Amino acid sequence: MTEDPIKYKNSLLGKFHSKQITLDELNKECAYWYLDCFEEISIKAYPTQPNRYRDYVSMDYDEKKEVPRTFWLLNDIKDYLDQKFLIKNENKGKKINDWKKSDLLQLIEIHKSLAKYKTKPKKQKWIEMAKLFTTKN
């Protein structure tokens, strides 16, 4: 694996911008770089969808509106969605409990300040979990 990926990325882009290499050569170098790092990339597959959930996904909009709220509380549906959420976050990158407390607090503050400039900011689900981790330590 590349010792310092940031420096390597910058050197590749520098060579491309100074026209030392073409776009095809840049793409080839990036592909080689990816293959070099391939063993370190691990992506978990999502769990198998329960039959009831698969049926729900195949419904059209009007049918989905008729599904009762209790559907989401069924054990198999709830378990599937929880597992999928955890795997999705694991695949995205660093686990939230691996972050340094100071970095996590900074990230929370950045998201709060960004939300001030949005007209309809969505509530970030991960922020509540991050706050729990920062108060535990």
Q: pLDDT of 59-88, one tens digit each?
A: 999 999 999 999 999 999 999 999 998 888
Phi and psi angles of residue 37, each rounded to the nearest 5 degrees, phi first: -95, 0
Is 113 within 8 Å of 88 (Cβ atoms)? no
Residue 24 tokens, joined: 């095809």
**Least-confidence region, from 22-26, 35-39, 87-91, 119-123:** 35-39
Q: CA–CA separation, 82 vs 87, rounded Å?
A: 9
- Residue 136: what pLDDT? 63
- Residue 77: what pLDDT? 94
Q: What is the mean pLDDT of residues 26-45?
A: 75
Q: CA–CA separation, 30 vs 13, rounded Å?
A: 10
Which residue is it, tokens 């008729």? Answer: 66
Collect all residues with Cβ–Cβ distance below 8 Å to 116 and sequence separation of at least 6: none
Is 29 within 8 Å of 21 (Cβ atoms)? yes
- Residue 53: what pLDDT? 95
Mean pLDDT of the chain: 81
Q: What is the pLDDT of residues 81-122, one digit of tens each?
A: 999 988 887 777 656 666 677 777 777 777 777 777 677 777
Task: Categorize the per-residue pLDDT at 30 as very low, low, confident or very high, splitting at 50, 70 and 90.
Answer: confident
- Residue 95: what pLDDT? 61
> Could you tell me the CA-to-CA distances from 100 to 40, 85, 89, 94, 130 in Å, in that order?
22, 22, 17, 11, 11
Q: CA–CA separation, 12 vs 30, rounded Å?
A: 9
pTM summary value = 0.43
Q: How many other C-beta atoms can be found within 10 angstroms of the C-beta atom of residue 105? A: 14
